[in-house]
């Protein structure tokens, strides 16, 4: 950044861009643009199914809690969209066929071919998951199996198996090797989720140095005029190539497809690793910066008002002079050492600092059927500090004919959330005809006091027993979880305190009658922080033990070698508290049960499918109101379906046509089930072409998302807000491997 530009930013009250990593991104791009000499690439990136990238089958004791050996990737199914193996938290890396859970592991190739920019696009293509945030908004939040994940200001995305490390609000795909989605609660496997999410676990695996050197440059474009450039560099060094380095950088900015909105993103991710005979270690560093003008916000619906028809997805009621900025710095150090061939110790240490500033209209309320809105305007500052530490041991041994894979882990997670705001004057607008109001000059908060702090600590023990050449596997485990948290007033005085503990079990079984069939079942529990009775209750201040969400699941998995399919039936029950008369008590319960089918792989030569179907029966089984008892929970549709297809044209080598159909059933916005958004279907179309230009492997991609420009409401969050669905958006990119 020039001195003049830097001074201008400071004078405007805007935080400067992060320096070290952002400059590294800029430097790498300039070097490539100027034709800097780079090592030749022997094969394409994380491709795909090259033997050099295939991860060997390892005993459970030698894999890490967080990463496969750097440079080695699990084999994908045909087409490279989904990996055959992935994380299972405490249990380490496991094949999908040996996992007693429904899990889908999306690969970097899938993310690239989809042209996904953040987790929102990736997970919205999963039939059990729906994005509940806003396109052009400030966070990525989701529902998994009808329960919220990642809502609020504390990220619930695990990074290489560890909470408290991922960037807090958005994760960009440039530095992701895999996105793993485990359906259902998993308190024993990953620990208690920082924001009490129980619907599932999203774990992202960072890119690490590949077995083969890579130098890739990508240019991308999105309507209206978002232009970006990314660089991906991978090298291994040493006599046995035991040292590895991977750098991913991104710069993207310009007007988006939404009215009045512009955005800017800068990302730099550096991964270092060492692969010795017995010692394996890695260090991940990420810094990312975002700046959005006229950021979108979710809508509230005034009581008694029916949800009006959705406007064109381009409409943006946020004032054009509003802005939102965030800066995240993340670090994770992992090490593991084989004491013997059957005994491995491991440890992780990491954390994230997130700074956010925004001056914008807050959550607007829709006041009537004509679409009139009213919104407060505020200048906010947030500071989120999170850290995580764990250590443990894995061992394998045999007792007669029974093999054991034993894992013991202790972990500690801490967070600190600080915020402050200064209010301006409310503004009015309309969802169909947004009105620009005069800019408001609102001073930024002078200090940012601590609002809350939490400490989650736990001890987990699990054993996987196997017999009959691993055809029958039984996983048993227990986790002791301690939860401490406090809330604070602006003066620093503690207003509420929480200190409780709980023990959660896990039991999972896998039986493989044939090599390509797995039958599985599990019983697992998730944890949510219990409530503190409010001041209005006669039992004010009473602290309740953590809520336990219980899941029972049975399923079958089929692996033909080219196609993977999972069919699961599940039931989840989650208790909660509410005020009944003058007494606050734990007398509410939500039950979600359903059927879930996922399919991925090559259905026919040159034809690949990815998608599935989820049927959900959500019900409020216990409430203190006859008006809500038996109702469908907020944001839970009856049907969710996704079907994506790819077709390699046989008469045009290298050309692939793509398409996807995404369906979500109607959802209620309130527990009384009197406000509802209708079902919606969107269609995506695209193509990619792989060729060689001047001896360099080159891939062109183009996509039209929401191709028919469907107007729809989406993203019903647990607190009763709705979001406007994305408009028709054109995206294109070109990647070159030097």
Burial of 11 from C-beta contacts in 10 A (0-12 / 13-18 / 19+): exposed
Separation in Å, CA 211 to CA 82, 105, 340, 366: 20, 21, 26, 54
Note the residue count of the chain: 738
Q: CB under 8 Å to 58, separation ≥6 — which residues?
A: 68, 69, 93
List the beta bridge partners of residue 200. Answer: 183
My answer on whether omega of the bond before 224 falls inside 30° of 0, hence cis, is yes
Adjacency order of strands within the sheet including 200-206: 103-107, 176-183, 200-206, 157-159
d(CA 406, CA 391): 14
**234 and 245 Cβ atoms separated by less than 8 Å:** yes
**668 and 637 Cβ atoms separated by less than 8 Å:** no
Q: Hey, is 119 helix, strand or coil?
A: helix
List the domain boundaries for the chain.
3-737
Question: What does 652-668 look like in DSSP terms, one character per residue?
Answer: STTEEEEEEEEEE--EE
d(CA 46, CA 71): 9
Q: Hey, is 22 helix, strand or coil?
A: helix
Separation in Å, CA 111 to CA 118, 176, 198: 9, 9, 25
Torsion of CA 173, 174, 175, 181, to 10 degrees: 20
**281 and 307 Cβ atoms separated by less than 8 Å:** no
**646 and 608 Cβ atoms separated by less than 8 Å:** yes
In a 13 Å sphere around the CA of 240, the CA atoms on its Cβ side amount to 5
Q: Hey, is 286 helix, strand or coil?
A: strand
d(CA 656, CA 606): 9
Q: Hey, is 536 helix, strand or coil?
A: coil
pLDDT value of position 531 = 78
For tokens 């994760």, name the residue: 171
d(CA 150, CA 172): 15
pTM, 2 dp: 0.88
Q: CB under 8 Å to 625, separation ≥6 — which residues?
A: none
pLDDT value of position 72 = 60
Q: Which of 639, 725, 717, 723 is nearest to 195 (CA)?
A: 717
pLDDT value of position 32 = 36
Burial of 14 from C-beta contacts in 10 A (0-12 / 13-18 / 19+): middle
d(CA 351, CA 390): 12
d(CA 468, CA 82): 28
**227 and 252 Cβ atoms separated by less than 8 Å:** yes
**451 and 485 Cβ atoms separated by less than 8 Å:** no
Q: Hey, is 185 helix, strand or coil?
A: coil
State which H helix or E strand residue 494 sits in.
strand 494-514
The conformation of residue 56, written as its DSSP 8-state character, comes to: P
The pair phi, psi for residue 65, each rounded to 5°, is -70, -20
d(CA 349, CA 337): 15
d(CA 373, CA 185): 38
List the beta bridge partners of residue 516. Answer: none
For tokens 């989701």, name the residue: 142
d(CA 230, CA 702): 17
**460 and 408 Cβ atoms separated by less than 8 Å:** yes
Give mean pLDDT in consecutive 10-residue pieces for the chain, a chain of 738 residues.
36 39 41 37 35 37 39 74 91 93 95 93 93 86 94 92 94 95 93 92 96 96 95 95 97 95 96 96 97 94 95 95 96 97 96 95 93 95 96 96 96 95 95 95 93 94 96 96 91 88 95 96 92 76 86 96 95 86 82 96 92 96 88 95 96 96 96 95 97 94 96 90 95 96
Q: Hey, is 534 helix, strand or coil?
A: coil
d(CA 520, CA 517): 10
The pair phi, psi for residue 188, each rounded to 5°, is -70, -40
**427 and 375 Cβ atoms separated by less than 8 Å:** yes
The conformational region for residue 115 under phi > 0 = left, psi -120 to 50 = alpha, else beta, is left
Question: Which CATH number applies to 3-737?
Answer: 2.40.170.20
Measured from the Cβ of residue 70, the count of other Cβ atoms closer than 10 Å reads 26
d(CA 733, CA 453): 42
Measured from the Cβ of residue 317, the count of other Cβ atoms closer than 10 Å reads 27
**634 and 166 Cβ atoms separated by less than 8 Å:** no
d(CA 433, CA 713): 17
**553 and 101 Cβ atoms separated by less than 8 Å:** yes
The conformation of residue 82, written as its DSSP 8-state character, comes to: B
d(CA 682, CA 685): 10
d(CA 459, CA 90): 11
List the beta bridge partners of residue 409. Answer: 392, 460
Q: Hey, is 76 helix, strand or coil?
A: strand
List the beta bridge partners of residue 264. Answer: 253, 291
Summarised one tens digit per residue, pLDDT across range 662-690 is 999 999 999 999 999 999 999 999 999 99
**506 and 101 Cβ atoms separated by less than 8 Å:** no
Question: What does 243-276 look like in DSSP terms, one character per residue?
Answer: EEEEEEEEEEEEEBSSTT-EEEEEEEEEEEEEE-
Radius of gyration of the chain (CA): 25
Separation in Å, CA 587 to CA 566, 625, 626, 671: 35, 11, 13, 15
For tokens 């970006």, name the residue: 228
Measured from the Cβ of residue 515, the count of other Cβ atoms closer than 10 Å reads 10
Q: Are strands 200-206 and 157-159 parallel, antiparallel or unpaired?
A: parallel
Burial of 212 from C-beta contacts in 10 A (0-12 / 13-18 / 19+): buried
């Amino acid at each position: 950044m020039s001195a003049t530009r830097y001074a201008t930013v400071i004078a405007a009250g805007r935080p400067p861009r992060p320096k070290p990593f952002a400059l590294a991104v800029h430097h790498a791009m300039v070097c490539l643009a100027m034709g800097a000499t780079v090592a030749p690439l022997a094969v394409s990136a994380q491709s795909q199914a090259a033997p050099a990238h295939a991860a060997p089958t390892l005993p459970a004791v030698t894999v890490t809690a967080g990463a496969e050996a750097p440079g080695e990737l699990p084999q994908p199914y045909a087409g490279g969209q989904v990996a055959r193996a992935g994380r299972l938290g405490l249990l380490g890396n496991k094949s999908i066929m040996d996992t007693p859970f429904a899990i889908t592991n999306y690969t970097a190739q899938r993310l690239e071919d989809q042209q996904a920019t953040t987790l929102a696009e990736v997970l919205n293509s999963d039939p059990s998951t729906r994005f509940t945030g806003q396109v052009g908004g400030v966070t990525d939040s989701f529902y998994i199996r009808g329960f919220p994940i990642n809502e609020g200001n504390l990220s619930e995305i695990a990074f290489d198996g560890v909470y408290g490390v991922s960037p807090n609000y958005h994760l960009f795909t440039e530095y992701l090797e895999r996105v793993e989605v485990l359906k259902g609660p998993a308190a024993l496997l990953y620990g208690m989720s920082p924001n009490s999410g129980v619907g599932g676990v999203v774990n992202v695996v960072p890119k690490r140095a590949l077995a083969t050197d890579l130098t890739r440059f990508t240019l991308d474009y999105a309507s209206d005029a978002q232009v970006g450039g990314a660089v991906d560099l991978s090298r291994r060094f040493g006599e046995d190539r035991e040292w590895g380095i991977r750098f991913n950088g991104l710069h993207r900015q310009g007007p988006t497809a939404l009215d009045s909105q512009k955005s800017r993103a800068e990302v730099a991710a550096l991964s270092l690793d060492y692969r010795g005979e017995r010692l394996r270690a890695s260090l991940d560093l990420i810094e990312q910066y975002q700046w959005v003008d006229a950021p979108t916000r979710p809508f509230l619906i005034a009581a008694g008002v029916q949800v009006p028809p959705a406007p064109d997805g381009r409409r943006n009621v946020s004032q054009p002079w509003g802005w939102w900025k965030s800066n995240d710095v993340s670090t994770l150090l992992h090490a593991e050492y084989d004491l013997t061939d059957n005994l491995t110790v491991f440890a992780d240490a990491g954390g994230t600092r997130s700074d956010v500033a925004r001056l914008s209209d807050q959550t607007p309320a829709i006041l009537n059927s004509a679409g009139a809105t009213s919104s407060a305007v505020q200048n906010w500052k947030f500071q989120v500090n999170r850290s995580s530490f764990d250590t443990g041991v894995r061992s394998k041994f045999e007792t007669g004919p029974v093999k054991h894979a034993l894992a013991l882990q202790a972990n500690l997670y801490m967070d600190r959330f600080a915020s402050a705001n200064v209010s301006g004057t409310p503004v009015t607008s309309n969802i169909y005809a947004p009105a620009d109001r005069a800019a408001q000059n609102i001073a930024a908060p002078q200090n940012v006091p601590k609002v809350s702090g939490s400490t989650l600590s736990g001890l987990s023990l699990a054993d996987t027993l196997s017999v009959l050449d691993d055809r029958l596997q039984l996983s048993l485990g227990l986790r002791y979880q301690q939860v401490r948290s406090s809330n604070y007033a602006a003066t620093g005085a503690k207003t509420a305190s929480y200190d409780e503990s709980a023990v959660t079990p896990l039991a999972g079984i896998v039986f493989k009658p044939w090599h390509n069939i797995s039958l599985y079942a599990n019983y697992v529990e998730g944890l949510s922080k219990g409530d503190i009775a409010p001041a209005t209750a006669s039992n004010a201040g009473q602290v309740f033990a953590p809520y336990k969400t219980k899941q029972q699941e049975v399923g079958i998995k089929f692996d033909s070698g080219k196609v993977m399919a999972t069919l699961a039936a599940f039931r989840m029950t989650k208790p909660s508290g509410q005020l009944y008369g003058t007494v606050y008590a734990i007398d509410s319960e939500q039950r979600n049960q359903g059927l879930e089918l996922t399919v991925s792989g090559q259905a026919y030569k040159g034809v690949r499918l990815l998608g599935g179907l989820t049927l959900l029966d959500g019900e409020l089984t216990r409430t203190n109101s006859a008006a809500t008892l038996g109702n469908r929970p907020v944001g839970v549709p009856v049907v969710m379906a996704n079907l994506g297809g790819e077709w390699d044209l046989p008469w045009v080598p290298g050309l692939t046509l793509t398409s996807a159909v995404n369906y979500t059933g109607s959802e209620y916005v309130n527990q009384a089930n009197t406000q509802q958004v209708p079902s919606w279907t969107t269609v995506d179309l695209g193509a990619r072409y792989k060729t060689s230009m001047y001896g360099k492997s080159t891939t062109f991609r183009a996509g039209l998302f929401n191709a028919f420009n469907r107007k729809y409401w989406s993203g019903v969050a647990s607190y009763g807000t709705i979001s406007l669905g994305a408009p028709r958006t054109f995206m294109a990119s070109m990647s070159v491997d030097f």
